[in-house]
Structure 1
Amino acid sequence: MKEPFNRVGFLIGWVSVITQFILMLQNRQADIVETIIRFFSFFTILTNTLVALYFTVHTFKIKNRVLFLFYKKGTLTALTVFILVVGIVYQIVLRHVWEPKGLQLIIDEMLHTINPIFVLVYWILFALREDVNFQNIKGWLWYPVIYFAYIITRGYFSGFYPYPFVNIPEIGYKQLFINFILIFSFIILLLAILIAFGRKLKHNII
């Protein structure tokens, strides 16, 4: 039962990320190198890429030192939390910012709605007891911290900020700090909910 889900996750993950990459290149507002850097400056893209890699590793049973992280206990729950953050923040904060059309609209929904829902369903079906142990997940909390540090540093030198709630020239450092605390707290809240709920799932207590 798990293998078909892995293949579907692999397919929708890479189709959405790769197609978005092509669309961004076609509509770029900077040179190619800068556009590629900007592409991977979006938390949405980084997280969807991590999810696509997770399903790739599990679909093709890839085992090496580079991708060992995707077999570690707790990784599935961490990725589920982050992709849910992508979806929820988009629906609440970012959906009104722009109105994509055509293929861009489809890919936008895949990245921010379909993929998060699919990963949540996958987590409900296949998460194990070890995946909802906070000790196995806590290392992943560095991911959003490092991400914020990166975009703030790069934004300072390049002037490019991927999201309005991290645009320091517009909102200032105080509001940036508040936004970071709110988002990080939301991540912790989602993590706590998934851990509490996961421990009650039948397949987690067998």
Structure 2
Amino acid sequence: MATPASIRSLVGAARIAVGAAAVAVILHTYALSIAAGEPNPFDYFGYFTNQTSLLASAVLIVAGSVALARRSTPVWLSHVRGAATAYLIVVAVIYNTIVPGTGTAPPWVSAVLHVVLPALVLLDWIVVADRGPLPWRRLWVVLPYPIVWVVVVLVRGATDGWVPYGFLLPENGVPSLVLHVAGLTCAVLLAGALVWALSRRRGAASHLPAPSTER
């Protein structure tokens, strides 16, 4: 029978392995883009998918290290983990329902970043109980990053003409941009609300150290 210590070790190791593997996939794909003559890191790492996948990977590695150390999960880590989970839900839903197959990466890379990683991160959030219920008054934490990302993308689109996704092209006009940005904001908030609601579910793997409580 599995002991609490063995469950903690398994969860921690799995998180670190998944996070490291996702980083390796992203860096491998960047190496492919360099070989193809597209070495600009600001373009490659300007994609919402790549940035949020790196964020989620970093969170997994940190959360895995906390689990291996058998420490309580800090409140800030639960919030960042929740936000990262929400972002990957948005990535998975938009890519697989609205713009499927539009990426330039190899199909297996798209599958990893748009299906496998979001599914594993969401599963980790649902199953592992080392996160307490996130307060609804803190749902706003999911918004700063996407807002900054959109602003940077729009500035780049207006200056050097590069945008990661066609619906953000300046020539589409202000109404189209406003509509799509509003849609992205709503999608992030809805995904965040789902993640916040799921944080109230007691995970099946409940033998990890209890999360820190917010003061």
CA distance in 1 between counterparts of 2:78 and 2:97 reads 31
CA distance in 2 between counterparts of 1:16 and 1:92 reads 23
Following TM superposition, by how much is the alpha carbon of 1:154 offset from its aligned partner in structure 2, in angstroms?
1.1
Moved over 6 A (4+): none
CA distance in 2 between counterparts of 1:135 and 1:117 reads 26
Alignment of 1:48-127 (within 5 A): 48-60=53-65, 72-97=77-102, 104-127=106-129
Following TM superposition, by how much is the alpha carbon of 1:123 offset from its aligned partner in structure 2, in angstroms?
0.6
Find the partner of 2:152 among 145, 150, 153: 150
Matched residue of 1:73: which SS? helix
- What letter matches 1:187 in structure 2? V
Matched residue of 2:98: which SS? helix
- Aligned Cα root-mean-square deviation (Å): 2.5
Aligned CA distance change for structure 1 residues 113 and 124 (closer, same or farther; 3 Å): same
The match for 1:65 is none
CA distance in 1 between counterparts of 2:51 and 2:101 reads 22
Which structure shows the bigger proportion of residues in helix conformation? Answer: 1
* 1:146-200, Cα deviation, whole Å (9 max, x unpaired): 000000001111111100111122x212101101111111111121122223313
CA distance in 2 between counterparts of 1:19 and 1:53 reads 17
Matched residue of 1:162: which SS? coil
Greater Rg by CA: 2
CA distance in 2 between counterparts of 1:200 and 1:70 reads 17
The match for 1:22 is 31
* 1:31-86, Cα deviation, whole Å (9 max, x unpaired): x3xx111011100110011111112223445xxxxxxx995331111110001111
Q: What TM-score do you get using the length of structure 2 for normalisation?
A: 0.78
Aligned residues: 190
- Residue ranges of structure 1 left out of the alignment (5+ in a row): 62-68
- What letter matches 1:24 in structure 2? S
Alignment of 1:158-169 (within 5 A): 158-169=160-171
The match for 1:176 is 177
Following TM superposition, by how much is the alpha carbon of 1:105 offset from its aligned partner in structure 2, in angstroms?
1.3
* 1:78-110, Cα deviation, whole Å (9 max, x unpaired): 11000111111111222143576xxx1111111
> Do structure 1's residue 45 and structure 2's residue 50 form an aligned pair?
yes
